[in-house]
Amino acid sequence: MASALHVSGIRKTFGKGDKMVEVLKRIDIDVAPGEFLILVGPSGCGKSTLLNIIAGLDDPTEGEIRIADRNVVGVPPAARDIAMVFQSYALYPTMSVAENIGFALEMRKVPKADRDKRINEVATMLQITHLLDRRPAQLSGGQRQRVAMGRALARKPQLFLFDEPLSNLDAKLRVEMRAEIKRLHQLSGITSVYVTHDQIEAMTLGSRIAVMKDGLVQQLGTPDDIYSRPANTYVASFIGSPTMNLIAGRARNDGATGTFDIQGASLPLKCPSQSEAVLGMRPEHITLTSDAPWRGEVSVVEPTGADTYVVVRTGFGDITVRTSPQVKARPGDAVGLQLSPEHANWFDAASGARL
């Protein structure tokens, strides 16, 4: 049965006195039963430290971790009823695939008949029944990661923890394994926490995402919330590929209408009352036109197949536009930029917080 996870007031420090470093700064997260939560952020933001504390591999300086409404701070990892999949596959090289999958069950004295049945169930789920007699050295990277997930699945844990499990795979395998992990979660319904620095993984896998920076959760929400309504300029610039265009200027609000003044142009936009503001606009919400008053010069054209990204140099910085391949633009072309007002995001210029 799926289990809820409650993270309350988790703080983690290393060192003492003047040399003390605060890695986690009172993290609060509730994970609903059966939810797939993503912890995403750059290296050093504290996401792996938080995962290790949930797993019991590290202890918090302050705070509480509850799994199925049981406080597990101080409880050894083996007694938490969790399963963890690491970046390194951590398979036993001298054991077959079947023996690797069933090892945890064997340690728990599960009868061999029940153990074999569970191994075959998991192998069928992962589509690796033809690999059960092989050793890890005879497998590809994607197959090894499937075996590592199979070993975790075999135990039917209350909580799944993933620590950047796809980092060692090539681009094609990463896409395949992302889909596999999502399918497995839908089948098992086990509450899962997944750490990654890859925002594409975060957007495609998670039912909710916690974006972290400097030991703090900057925003916790659904992929659509994070993408469409970022809480601050950090989230806006971290999530999305290409990232959101951020344009600093002066907003003038005249009630029903408004004007956003930037270097070289005044845009008619409904603005916040804050005078110094940052306008955030996703590349797909800007259109290249010939007659728009906001002008620039094409500096880079990047065809990607389904989309073409056009970087336009303006008087206040580069703006990235997502267009269709049918839009013909060449470096040096003078173009106009048309914004989609209903997709405007506004941030405070000083704090970066959403207005």
pLDDT tens, residue by residue, 58-107: 999 999 999 998 999 999 998 999 998 887 778 999 999 999 999 989 98
Q: How would you classify residue 86: left for phi > 0, otherwise alpha for psi between -120 and 50, otherwise beta? A: beta
The verdict on residue 71 lying in a domain is yes
Number of domains in the chain: 2
Where in the sequence is the domain holding 281, given as residue range(s)? 246-348
The verdict on residue 354 lying in a domain is no
The verdict on residue 355 lying in a domain is no
- Which residues pair with residue 195 across a beta bridge? 39, 163
73, HSE (Cβ side, Cα atoms, 13 Å): 17
pLDDT tens, residue by residue, 180-198: 889 889 988 999 999 999 9
55 pLDDT tier (thresholds 50, 70, 90) = very high
Which amino acid is present at 183?
A: R
Q: Write the CATH number for 34.
A: 3.40.50.300
DSSP state of 227: H
| Measured distance between the N- and C-terminal CA atoms of the chain, rounded to whole angstroms | 41
* Domain identity same for 17 and 127: yes
Statement: the pTM of the whole predicted model exceeds 0.85: yes
Q: Strand, coil or helix: what is 113?
A: helix
Domain boundary among 238, 269, 304: 238
The verdict on residue 29 lying in a domain is yes
The C-alpha atoms of residue 52 and residue 60 are separated, in whole angstroms, by: 10
Residue 118, token pair as written in the block = 């569970």
DSSP state of 229: S
DSSP state of 304: -
Question: What's the mean pLDDT in 13-39?
Answer: 94
* Domain identity same for 164 and 34: yes
Q: Are 84 and 194 in contact (CB under 8 A)?
A: no
Which amino acid is present at 15?
A: G
* Domain identity same for 204 and 174: yes
Q: Are 219 and 231 in contact (CB under 8 A)?
A: yes
Domain boundary among 174, 204, 238: 238
